[in-house]
Amino acid sequence: MAEKGQENGAYQLITPPNLLKAKVGKGGMGRIDPDLIKHAETVVDSLGNEFAETVSREILHVMELAMDLETDPAKAADIMKNIRRVAHDLRGQGATYGYDLISDVAECLFQYTDRLSSAAELNPEVLRAHADAMRAIIKNDVKGDGGVVGIDLVASLDALVLRMTG
């Protein structure tokens, strides 16, 4: 049953077989088809382009929600749910497609909604500030964390959130 065993008088050490290794076989980069890797990278790149379009649609949605909040504050609870969904989705997907800064801005927006004691405290200007930041990121095709400018952008949004929820 065991592949190997060691006996030391008082006890016997039994090493069970590595069934996963037996199923997978010997690995290494030589076993992975380079064409499959290239195909996977192409698919992810094309999805990255679709992601930019998705972000653009979500930005418009956030802007519409900000306007709805101004015209009908009674909808604040529904608007909050929508904002949280958008922020949750974008913070999870951004880094996957190379838009780490989108993830950071979306995280900041999510934290804003999380820190409010009620949906009635939602501020449309804070929503617009986050949407405008994401619009600039997509318009300029900023990949990764955006460097120093990206860090400053997120820091300014964090400061806004603290000021509005503090």
Q: Give pLDDT, residue 76.
A: 98
Instruction: Specify whether the CB–CB gap between 149 and 105 falls below 8 A.
Output: no
Angle, alpha carbons 158-161-162 (nearest 5°): 85
- Report the alpha-carbon distance of residue 14 to residue 4 in Å, rounded: 6
Give the residue with greater pLDDT, 75 vs 14. Answer: 75
- How confident is residue 26, by pLDDT bands cut at 50, 70 and 90? low
Residue 91 has pLDDT above 90, yes or no: yes
Q: Give pLDDT, residue 49.
A: 78
> What does DSSP assign to residue 12?
E
Q: What 3-state DSSP class applies to 122? A: coil
Phi, psi (deg, nearest 5) at residue 32: -95, 130
- Cα Rg of the chain (Å, integer): 24
Q: Give pLDDT, residue 8.
A: 65
Q: Give pLDDT, residue 40.
A: 83
- How confident is residue 34, by pLDDT bands cut at 50, 70 and 90? confident
Q: Give pLDDT, residue 2.
A: 44
Give the residue with greater pLDDT, 43 vs 119. Answer: 119
Q: Give pLDDT, residue 20.
A: 77
Q: Give pLDDT, residue 166.
A: 85
Mean pLDDT for 103-118 is 97
- How confident is the model over 113-128, as pLDDT tens digits? 999 999 999 999 999 9
Output the six-digit token pair for 87. Answer: 């922020």
Residue 165 has pLDDT above 60, yes or no: yes
Helix (H) or strand (E) holding 14: strand 12-15
Q: Give pLDDT, residue 1.
A: 44
- How confident is residue 6, by pLDDT bands cut at 50, 70 and 90? low
Instruction: Specify whether the CB–CB gap between 100 and 52 falls below 8 A.
Output: no
